[in-house]
A and B are shown apart, each in its own frame.
Chain A
Amino acid sequence: MANKILAILEQREGLLKKVSFEAASVASVLAKDLNLEVEAVVAGSEIKNLNEISKYGIKKIVHLKSSDFENYTSSGYTEAISNYAKEVNAVCLIMGNTALGNDLAPRLAVKLNSGCVMDSINLQVETGEIIATRPVYAGKALVKVKLSSGIKVYTIRPNVFKAVLSENSDAVIEVKEISSPNLRSRVVSFKKSEGKLDVAEADIIVSGGRGMKGPENFNLIESLADSLGAAVGASRAVVDAGWRPHREQVGQTGKTVSPSLYVACGISGAIQHLAGMSSSKYIVAINKDKDAPIFSVADYGIAGDVFEILPALTEEIKKIRS
């Protein structure tokens, strides 16, 4: 039996998350390079779109199923997935670096006596070994890391790896009922935040800083975000001032994001802010100070007043979108 590489999928409310497809895709590419067999594994109750994984080079999906797995339980998922990984002699696990992956990956690693590399932005096979690249110091530097443990666990940063479609074939779904899962620690409820979209998951982010002058002016940021289908972000200065909630903070002590487009409005571009967003694919800066450091990382900038530019920009985007 060939050794296995497992893509650990993540579902919420019975739907696989986008990063699961990215993990599946990465795992199937690594499987080819390392001559391993690839499988996808997911813990959950009912899952609606399981078969979609087959588009990403996966031929077998193992569903570790329990009605107690509808919500996340770190003890339950850890036990079920690590037992399965041991059973099939998995040598490598790949999953998304999400809130769930961040909790689960290190625990699986301990159970499997393996090391883990978190938040990889590149995974490559060099002379038969997986070399991971990951940001450190909030993206101010990058390291290449090699694991020396027998089994290896990696999480991948969402939105960075492409979920590559391979030839479409059906996958076998194997359901394994998990009887009496370990529920020592479990999620009992979920409080959805009012904000529509989370910066950690958004493809476009519009962020506001102290240049917005007050919380009442963030409707300008929200309108632009709405017109783009974007999430609203914020600098720490406005979070500390209580204008915006902390979950919107982008930066070294906020969230690290890498959307396709980041629009910084009235943000100076302090090093701690840049650390959290400079790996965005495209950056637009709007700031009335043409010497603001944000312009050093921006692809396009307007050195003008947010109160004039933002409404005009929102109008222009609406035009092009309609």
Chain B
Amino acid sequence: MKIAVCVSHVPDTATRIKIGADRKTIDSAGVTYIINPYDEFAVEEALKTKEKLGGDSLVYAISVGGDANKESIRKALAMGVDEGILLKDDTQRDSFGIAHALAAEIKSLGCEIAFFGKQSVDFDNSITGQVTAELLDYNCVPVVVDFKLEGSKIIAEREIEGGREVVETELPAVITTQKGLNEPRYASLKGIMASKKKVIAEKPAAQFSNYSEIIDMNLPPSKQPGRILGTDSSAVAELVKLLHEEAKVI
């Protein structure tokens, strides 16, 4: 079976955000980029699925973006993914634009299952997997914390408010992964060496014009630093009074 895993390339979560001069993007000077943390769960699940299926299953890591994204594809290769594909586009695409490119590639590769992260920690849209699935007319279970594939049947648990939903569906499907699903493996030294030798295929991303336009990016209004009321339990009475009378939240 052919298995896809879609990875995005995002600023390290420790990054302090500076707004770019165009006021639509961030200033990327000095920012370290990493594979999207949720996508590591997707890579792991893709590899586990391949191992379980055995035979001649193949895992493809696909990313839409500029050359820099190759770094995250390489990370996936180092973990054990078979082939890397960059769908090249240096412009900024919205999730629909990204999903259109991914859907076209997943279809032409003939992947029956595609793993996504639940969310890319840059724009936090949390929709690319669902949109791709709908474009392909694949089933989709987002935010999965437990995944079983039995023949063509999928039983997946997804995290929702107050508990987990158990969802049943069939291949072909898109799964988006949440922390808790698995423990992503470390890339072995051998894997890292091998990944350096692999050629990442480059193709132009399928044409699509964005549906959304960013008209402004700004920092959230900054907060006045608060009051430290004391250093021991003698401050408790005042704290409760303030919460009750000033903030009126209790």
Residues of A within 8 A of B (CB): 71-72, 74-75, 78, 98-100, 102-103, 105-107, 109-111, 114-119, 131, 135-149, 184-193, 197-198, 200-201, 204, 228, 246-247, 249, 252-254, 256, 260-261, 271-272, 275, 278-279, 281-285, 290, 295-305, 308-309, 312-313, 316-317, 320-321
- In the complex, whether B143 has a CB less than 8 A from a CB of chain A is yes
Q: Is the CB of B130 within 8 A of A188?
A: no
- 6 nearest CB pairs, A to B: A115-B211, A99-B160, A110-B134, A106-B127, A185-B169, A312-B233
Q: Which residues of B contact A107 (CB under 8 A)?
A: 130-131, 133-134, 140
Q: Which residues of A contact B193 (CB under 8 A)?
A: none
Q: Which residues of A contact B168 (CB under 8 A)?
A: 185-186, 188
Q: Which residues of B contact A228 (CB under 8 A)?
A: 250
A293 to chain B, nearest CB (A): 11
Q: Which residues of A contact B225 (CB under 8 A)?
A: 295-296, 298
Q: Is the CB of B127 within 8 A of A116?
A: yes
Alpha-carbon gap, A113 to B26, bound state (A): 29
Binds A, one of B69-77, B82-90, B216-224: B216-224
Residue of chain A at shortest CB distance from B122: A137
Q: Is the CB of B247 within 8 A of A105?
A: no
Q: Mark B211-236, 1 if CB is under 8 A from A, else 0.
A: 11111111110010111111111011
Alpha-carbon gap, A283 to B223, bound state (A): 11
A38 to chain B, nearest CB (A): 23
Residue of chain A at shortest CB distance from B158: A99
Return 14 A-B CB contacts under 8 Å, by A number: A109-B96, A117-B212, A118-B127, A137-B26, A138-B13, A141-B218, A143-B24, A144-B215, A148-B210, A185-B168, A190-B166, A191-B164, A299-B226, A313-B233
Q: Which of B126-150 contact A (CB under 8 A)?
A: 126-127, 130-131, 133-135, 139-143
| Chain B residues touching A, majority SS | mixed
- In the complex, whether B45 has a CB less than 8 A from a CB of chain A is no
A162 to chain B, nearest CB (A): 15
Q: Mark B2-18, 1 if CB is under 8 A from A, else 0.
A: 00000000010111110
Q: Is the CB of A188 within 8 A of B166?
A: yes
Q: Is the CB of B127 within 8 A of A142?
A: no
Residues of B within 8 A of A (CB): 11, 13-17, 19, 24, 26, 37-38, 94-96, 121-127, 130-131, 133-135, 139-143, 157-170, 179-180, 210-220, 223, 225-233, 235-237, 239-240, 242-244, 247, 249-250
Q: Is the CB of A304 within 8 A of B232?
A: yes
Q: Which residues of B contact A188 (CB under 8 A)?
A: 166-168
Q: Is the CB of B135 within 8 A of A282?
A: no
Q: Which residues of A contact B125 (CB under 8 A)?
A: 118
Partner among B19, B218, B219, B250 whose Cβ is within 8 Å of the Cβ of A261? B250
A268 to chain B, nearest CB (A): 13
Alpha-carbon gap, A247 to B124, bound state (A): 18
Q: Is the CB of B227 within 8 A of A193?
A: no
Q: Is the CB of A186 within 8 A of B179?
A: no
Q: Is the CB of B134 within 8 A of A106?
A: yes
B91 to chain A, nearest CB (A): 15
Q: Is the CB of B17 within 8 A of A304?
A: no
A116-B127, A304-B232 as given contacts; A145 in contact with B249, CB under 8 Å: no
Given contacts A111-B134, A147-B212, A148-B212, 12 further A-B contacts (CB under 8 A): A74-B167, A75-B139, A99-B159, A136-B122, A141-B26, A142-B217, A143-B217, A144-B217, A188-B168, A272-B13, A303-B228, A321-B250
Alpha-carbon gap, A74 to B161, bound state (A): 16
Q: Is the CB of A301 within 8 A of B213?
A: no
